Each structure stands twice: as C-alpha cells, then as structure tokens.
C-alpha cells in the first residue's frame, strides 16, 4: 500500500507540474474526459485523484459499444466541439483522428517520458507517421487458456492444439477450441494475429496498400482447418469474447483464446474448474516463429479543439501514472502499459495477474492492428470476407487484397 501511495503522490505532482497536487477542492476549470463506461469505478477514482486546485477532471461516459463511442467522438470533433478535452481512444482510432487533425501530438519532455516508460507494443498503438499522437493508458492481449485436467501440457502451435482437440473429441471428452469467429472486429483481430504470427502484415508500413503474401496463406490455412475440424465449436461463426468465456465455463471446451478477464470470471463463476484452469502463450502459427497476438487497449489523446491543452496534457500524465494504472489493472481488469509495474510488481498485481510475465512478453513482441485512417473500413471487409471462418481458404488472398485496397482508397461499397 505504501508503494501505491507514493505512486499517487508522484503521479499527481508530475501531472500537475507546479500546481497544487491532488486537491480535494473544486477545480477552477473542468476538463472533460471522454471514456467508455467503467463499472469498476477505477476510472472515476483516477479522475478524482488527479483533479487539482487548478482543474477538475469530469469523467463523461461514452456509449457501451465501440461503434457508438467512435460515432459520438467523430460527430463532436467534426463539429469542432470545444467541450472535448481528453479522449480515451480505442487503439484502432489513432490514425484516423490524427490524420483528420482532431487530436494534438505529444511533444517535449512528456512525449519523451512516455516513450521511455511504456511497453513496446502499447507505445506503437499511439504512434502515427512517426509521432506520438496518443499516450498508452491501458492495454490487452490474448493468451491461450486451457483445462489442465484434459490437457496436461499446453500446445505450442495451432496445429498441435487442433490435433489435441480432435483426440479429445474421439475420446468423447470436452474438446472445443473457443475463438472469436463472429462477423465483427474480433474476427479481424484473429486474422491479424495469425498473419503476424506467420511473419506477415496486412498493410505496408505506410498503411497505403495491402501486403498480403505467403504469411496470409498460412494464416487462412490454419484458420480454415480449425473451423472445419471437430475442434471448432458449432457456434464459432457467432462467437464473441463473452460467448467463448461462457462456453469454457459451461464445460464444453478444452481450449480458449481470450483476454485476461476470463481468469477472474472462472474463479467466481465456475470454481470447480478453476483449479485446472491454466494459461499459456498464444499458440504459434508456424513452428519456430514467434507468436504475435494483437494488442488492444485505450490511449489518451488531447482534442485539437480543447481550450485547455496544457492542462489536458498534465492531467493525462497523472491519469496514466503507476498508481492509477495499477488500480485500473487490479480493479478494472485492464493490463497496464508501464514497464515498471511488471518489473517491480506489487503483491496485489501479482495476485490478480499471476500470468503477468506472459502478458509482458506478448506486449513486447505482439502485433498491432493495421495502421490506416481507413481502419474501420478495412476491418469490416476482412470480417465480411472471412465469415464464416469455415470458409477461410488460401484462395481468398486475391479477393482480400482487392477489397482492402478499395477500402483504403474509399472505393466501392463497404459490406
């Protein structure tokens, strides 16, 4: 607890500069923080702790769904709404918002500090055209979760996992591999993780054209093989993150690719499975090549139309300090982006994230989603083409290349 208290004080002093830190009194200026709803209360607590005598941070909740969140932000920023101050951006929006000049890049000492203390993967989500346009705040990555009572040793590759699931099926045991196969962003994430793990990318480094090649063929082959095998849950084409969690808790699956929230949920909802519920790194697509699961999370950006940009940057530095990121992790369930929290973890953090070393490895070596201002269109055409996953075959490379190129150029109709 002492370590956390020191983090609060240090973070508030860094966030407020020479201003009085962490005052409980009313602020003279209200800074509006727009973020997704957080039922844990950790975001509201961070906003309160980082409010000072100079300003109060007001936590304004966006709609629950990511599409609704983006629509509200885009509508108001396009209207040059000066009530927009701090924006918690999904890691898919940075390129679009920066290209439209709706957010202000980070510069100077603050940018340098963020670049030095942030993990590699989360930091990359906040970059666009070589500039830091949003500061990593929370992050996420997927692990392989499995039942050790069914699988004593976790598979290292997707082929091994499929073979193990098929063997369990022949024995009449729970055997499904739970993965996000519904026609939505989760399917795009699965595809991106598989392509990156096969050594490729979906777009070139400038985000101007598709780079689909042999790694995509490998990714489509494995995805299709899994989806057409007994390893696939019959509901795969309709499965999202929470559906996968529920199927695992119901005892229907042996494997699950999902985010860390499933750990606490299993402990609470299915204690009889909890003792044998284990984790391992995201499986490799190609033996001998590192797996590169896709990194998620939220980044903090400052609106170009805010009247208080200097204070916004100060407040953002406080919101992302050690104490607040640890609170968001332990209470809110979102892994932190600061390396120090992993290299010198608190007992509370280790208790909630016993798998933190695997999370750290993936955040340092994982992949990010394709970087382009047209990401929403790119994601839609990918998830449309690959739905249902059982249709995934190497022959789709040409169609994907054409559709993604059109999406980047804003040509044709988005499905």
Segment 186-192 mean pLDDT: 98
What pLDDT, on the 0 to 100 scale, is given for residue 414? 55
What pLDDT, on the 0 to 100 scale, is given for residue 28? 82
What pLDDT, on the 0 to 100 scale, is given for residue 4? 28
Tokens of 376: 């929403």
Residue 249 has pLDDT above 50, yes or no: yes
Strands 86-90 vs 103-104: parallel, antiparallel or unpaired: unpaired
Close Cβ partners of 93 (under 8 Å, ≥ 6 residues apart): 70, 73, 375
Segment 52-66 mean pLDDT: 95
Residue 368 pLDDT level (bands cut at 50, 70, 90):
very high
Mean pLDDT of the residues in the chain = 92
Class of residue 67 by CB neighbours under 10 A (exposed 0-12, middle 13-18, buried 19+): exposed
The CA distance from 372 to 95, in Å, is 6
Residue 10 pLDDT level (bands cut at 50, 70, 90):
very low
Segment 239-268 mean pLDDT: 96
Residue 12 pLDDT level (bands cut at 50, 70, 90):
very low
Segment 39-50 mean pLDDT: 96
Close Cβ partners of 159 (under 8 Å, ≥ 6 residues apart): 222, 287
> Is the peptide bond prior to 388 cis by the omega test (within 30 degrees of 0)?
yes
What pLDDT, on the 0 to 100 scale, is given for residue 411? 75
Residue 109 has pLDDT above 50, yes or no: yes
Find out if CATH 3.40.190.10 is the number for domain 143-293+374-408. Answer: yes
Residue 363 has pLDDT above 70, yes or no: yes
Q: What percent of the chain is predicted at pLDDT more than 90?
A: 90
Residue 342 pLDDT level (bands cut at 50, 70, 90):
very high
What pLDDT, on the 0 to 100 scale, is given for residue 410? 82
Segment 382-390 mean pLDDT: 97
Residue 296 pLDDT level (bands cut at 50, 70, 90):
very high
Residue 388 has pLDDT above 60, yes or no: yes
pLDDT in tens, 121-154: 999 999 999 999 999 999 999 999 999 999 999 9
CATH class of 2-140+295-365: alpha beta
Residue 45 has pLDDT above 70, yes or no: yes
Q: Are the C-beta atoms of 294 and 228 separated by less than 8 Å?
A: no
What pLDDT, on the 0 to 100 scale, is given for residue 174? 97
| Fold match between domain 2-140+295-365 and domain 143-293+374-408 | yes
pLDDT in tens, 225-239: 999 999 999 999 999
Q: Are the C-beta atoms of 399 and 227 separated by less than 8 Å?
A: no
What pLDDT, on the 0 to 100 scale, is given for residue 145? 98
Delimit the domains of the chain by residue range: 2-140+295-365, 143-293+374-408
Residue 390 pLDDT level (bands cut at 50, 70, 90):
very high
């Amino acid at each position: 607890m002492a370590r956390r208290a020191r983090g609060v004080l240090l973070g508030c002093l860094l966030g407020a500069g020479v201003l009085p830190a962490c005052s409980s009194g009313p602020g003279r200026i209200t800074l509006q923080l727009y973020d997704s709803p957080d039922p844990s209360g950790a975001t509201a607590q961070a906003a309160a702790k980082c409010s000072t005598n100079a300003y109060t941070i007001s936590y304004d909740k966006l709609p629950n769904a990511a599409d609704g969140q983006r629509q509200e932000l885009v509508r108001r920023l396009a209207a040059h709404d000066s009530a927009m101050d701090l924006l918690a951006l999904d890691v898919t929006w940075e390129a679009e918002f920066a290209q439209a000049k709706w957010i202000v890049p980070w510069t100077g000492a603050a940018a340098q500090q963020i670049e030095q203390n942030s993990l590699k993967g989360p930091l990359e989500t906040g970059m666009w055209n070589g500039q830091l346009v949003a500061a990593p705040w929370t992050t996420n990555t997927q692990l392989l979760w499995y039942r050790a009572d069914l699988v004593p040793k976790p598979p290292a590759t997707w082929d091994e996992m499929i073979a193990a699931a098929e063997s369990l099926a022949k024995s009449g045991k729970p055997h499904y591999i739970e993965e996000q196969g519904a026609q939505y962003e989760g399917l795009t994430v699965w595809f991106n993780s598989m392509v990156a793990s096969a050594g490729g990318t979906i777009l070139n480094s400038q985000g101007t054209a598709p780079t689909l090649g042999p790694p995509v063929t490998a990714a489509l082959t494995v995805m299709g093989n899994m989806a057409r095998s007994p390893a696939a849950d019959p509901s795969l084409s309709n499965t999202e993150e929470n559906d996968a969690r529920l199927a695992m808790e119901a005892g229907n699956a042996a494997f699950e690719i999902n985010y860390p929230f499933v750990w606490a949920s299993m402990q609470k909802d299915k204690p009889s499975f909890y003792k044998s519920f284990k984790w391992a790194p995201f499986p490799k697509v190609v033996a001998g090549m590192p797996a590169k699961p896709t990194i998620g999370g939220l980044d903090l950006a400052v609106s170009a139309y805010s009247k208080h940009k200097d204070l916004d940057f100060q407040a953002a530095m406080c919101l992302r300090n050690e104490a607040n990121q640890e609170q968001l992790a332990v209470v809110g369930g979102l892994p932190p982006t600061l390396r120090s929290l992993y290299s010198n973890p608190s007992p509370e953090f280790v208790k909630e994230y016993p798998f933190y070393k695997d999370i750290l490895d993936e955040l340092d070596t994982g992949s990010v989603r394709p970087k382009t201002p047209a990401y929403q269109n790119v994601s839609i055409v990918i998830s449309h083409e690959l739905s249902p996953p059982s249709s995934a075959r190497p022959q789709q490379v040409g169609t994907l290349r054409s559709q993604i190129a059109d999406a980047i150029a804003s040509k044709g109709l988005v499905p």
